[in-house]
Amino acid sequence: MTFYFFKIENVILWNDNNQIDLEGIYMGDVHKVIRRHQILTKISTAFIYAVLVSIAMNFFWTPGHIYSSGVTGFAQLLTTLTHRYTSFTLSTAAGLLVLNIPLLFLAWKSIGHQFAIFTFLSVFLASTMIKVLHPMTLTTDPLICALFGGAVNGFGTGLALKNQISTGGLDILGIVIQRKTGKSIGTINIAFNAFIILSAGFMYGWPYAFYSAIGLLVNAKVMDMTYTRQQRMEVMIITSMPKTVIDSVQNHMRRGITIVHHAEGAYNHQPKTVLFTVISRYEKNELDEALKESDPNAFAVAVDVDAVFGHFYENKPK
């Protein structure tokens, strides 16, 4: 029996079949590097989100008496109530962390450990930065505070979601309910935020309820502009190399494709194939890359889609 010895990164391998799976070893190292990079990206994104939400809170919302949405807005409400009607004041930073604790346990049990860990990290960092970052009153104009606070927080939240990080709160409840029932919590979300807006009116006067509503709208709009993964696009591709295009697209993303044969170009009457698929706006650059690799002469049209029915693959948080 003959043994062959190889040394790769201080690890000695031997094989009596004259073959060493060097490619497998290399790919394993590549996957580890990619995994490490993804974790570092999520950690840095959680920190950036925490800085942005603390800027929105300490520079705009608090000076302007503007309430945020969801659990963050409820934490602000608790701060106002405890300050006015009790002998102690529960800070917004502490309230944000305390209110998220039961939801984090729910995420750990029902969604996934990795999801719960990164959600805890983003909530903990946000709570810490809100407490640590020294408040600065740039203006007390409620309209300016609503606009800029909503924009800053919307960008931070969208950035977190884009990197598959939850910011806690109603996000967790929404994922759990959707997985168990297949339904969204849109009505609950609207009702909860309506309660926050009305609370702003009771605490500071009804004009502030409208200012808070404006802030919520700006927050949602900027978040949608930043986080494009949930926005759907229907794509029609006309090509004379359908198999090559399909292979390239499906190597870049996990998407089904419908094929329509026997199409014909009106200019030179050459046979064409029409391909239909639905992607998220987040995947648009990957689709462009796939088409350039497979058929630079392909013609493609993309239009926004309001709703998708039936099976549409989405990455589930782990």
Cα angle value 309/236/305 (rounded, 5°):
35
Residue whose pair of structure tokens reads 């409820």 in the numeric block: 74
Q: Are residues 188 and 131 in the same domain?
A: yes
Question: What band does 260 get if pLDDT is binned at 50, 70 and 90?
Answer: very high
Q: For residue 25, is pLDDT > 80?
A: no
In a domain, 292, yes or no: yes
The residue type of 246 is: I
pLDDT given at position 128: 95
Q: Are residues 188 and 67 in the same domain?
A: yes
Question: What band does 30 get if pLDDT is binned at 50, 70 and 90?
Answer: low
Q: Return the structure tokens found at 222.
A: 């900027």
Q: Which helix (H) or strand (E) holds 204?
A: helix 186-204
Q: Are residues 136 and 277 in the same domain?
A: no
Domain that holds residue 87: 37-226
First to last CA, the chain: 47
Q: Are residues 152 and 275 in the same domain?
A: no
Domain boundary pick from 182, 209, 226: 226
Give the mean model confidence (pLDDT) for residues 73-79: 95
pLDDT given at position 243: 93
Q: Are residues 239 and 145 in the same domain?
A: no
* Half-sphere exposure (Cβ direction) of 222: Cα atoms closer than 13 Å: 20
Q: What is the pTM of this model?
A: 0.73
Residue whose pair of structure tokens reads 């990795």 in the numeric block: 114
Radius of gyration of the chain (CA): 25
In a domain, 10, yes or no: no
Question: What band does 5 get if pLDDT is binned at 50, 70 and 90?
Answer: very low
Domain boundary pick from 198, 226, 254: 226
User: Closest Cα to residue 75, out of 48, 57, 52?
Assistant: 57
Domain count, the chain: 2
Give the mean model confidence (pLDDT) for residues 222-241: 84
Question: What band does 10 get if pLDDT is binned at 50, 70 and 90?
Answer: very low
Q: Which helix (H) or strand (E) holds 82?
A: helix 70-85
* pLDDT > 90 in the chain, percent: 52
Cα angle value 61/47/28 (rounded, 5°):
150
In a domain, 238, yes or no: yes
